[in-house]
Amino acid sequence: MDMSGNLDALVKRVLDRARDEATAIVERGKKAAERETQRAEEERAARKQASEAALHEAAERRIYSARAEAEQDKRRAMMNAREEAVEAVFAEALQTLQQIDAPAERRALLQKLVREGIRAVGAPAVRIRVNKTERDLARDPTFPGEIDGVSITLDEQALDASGGPVVTDDSGRVVYENTFEARLERMREPLRRLVARTLHLEEKKEEAR
């Protein structure tokens, strides 16, 4: 083989090697580009997912907050309705008691309330204080000066109440308020529970419709 042939073969080998190296470089570049593209795509997807998750979480928080606020408003409305119902019952009951103006009926009621006070105080002698109207009834000679073996002394100072007595022992240390207002106040909590149960049952009926 002459020098020309050797040179041609050498050039061919160099070109082939260069071509192979260029192809390898291109392949490596393509793979690197693909890796970068994939990584960029993964990062974009991750950012999108994170953004969607954040938006979803924010939406869930808003929904939860709205539900909690609605539930709180509902509870507040129920409590207001309950208190309004209790106050309406109290007002009606107090008005009914105040309207008992027949002397015999009012006297019988006062005597009953004094008896309850005597039992609550548990003393051998008691003092009672009543309002001006009932003080006149208690001053009547026919009003008992003793009930169930317990002597009764009328306090001349009038009581600021719609009706009913405040009963104490002689020392004034043991006090039992049995006025209309006090009796109703003692009923307030049981009445609240009763009204709450009634409202709850009505609510269940509404939901069932």
Q: Which residue has the higher pLDDT, 99 or 149?
A: 149
Q: Total domain count for the chain?
A: 1
163 within 8 A of 136, measured Cβ to Cβ: no
Tokens in use for 74? Answer: 């509902």
pLDDT at 209 over 70: no
Asked, for residue 127, whether it belongs to a domain, the answer is yes
- Residue 106 covered by a domain: yes
At 170, is the secondary structure helix, strand, or coil? coil
In a domain, 47, yes or no: no
CATH number at residue 143: 3.30.2320.30
Q: What percent of the chain shows pLDDT beyond 90? A: 35
**Cβ contacts of 154 within 8 Å, gap of 6 or more:** 127, 128, 129, 130, 135, 138, 139
pLDDT, mean of residues 77-84: 79
Asked whether residue 90 is assigned to any structural domain, the reply reads: no
| Range 113-122 average pLDDT | 95
Please give the torsion angle defined by the CA atoms of residues 102, 105, 106 and 110, in that order, rounded to the nearest 10 degrees: 170
The three-class DSSP label of residue 183 is helix
Res 49 pLDDT > 50: yes
145 falls within a domain: yes
Look at 9-18, 24-33, 142-151, 165-174 and tell me which has the smallest mean pLDDT: 9-18
Domain membership of residue 126 as a residue range: 100-178
Model confidence at 21: pLDDT above 90? no
**Higher per-residue pLDDT: 4 or 43:** 43
Site of tokens 């000679």: 141
For 31-53, what is the mean pLDDT? 68
Mean pLDDT of 38-51: 68
Of residues 182 and 28, more confidently modeled? 182
- Cβ distance 162 to 100 under 8 Å? no
Identify the residue with better confidence: 64 or 26. Answer: 64
More confident residue, 114 or 63: 114
Residue 45 has pLDDT above 90, yes or no: no
In a domain, 135, yes or no: yes
Domain membership of residue 48 (yes or no) is: no
Residue 6 vs residue 149, higher pLDDT? 149
Say if 131 falls within a structural domain. yes
Instruction: Name the band, by pLDDT with cuts 50, 70 and 90, for residue 1.
Output: very low
Structure token pair of residue 36: 């970068």
Mean pLDDT of the chain: 79
The whole-model pTM stands at 0.59
Residue type, 5: G
Pairing mode, if any, of strands 150-154 and 146-147? antiparallel
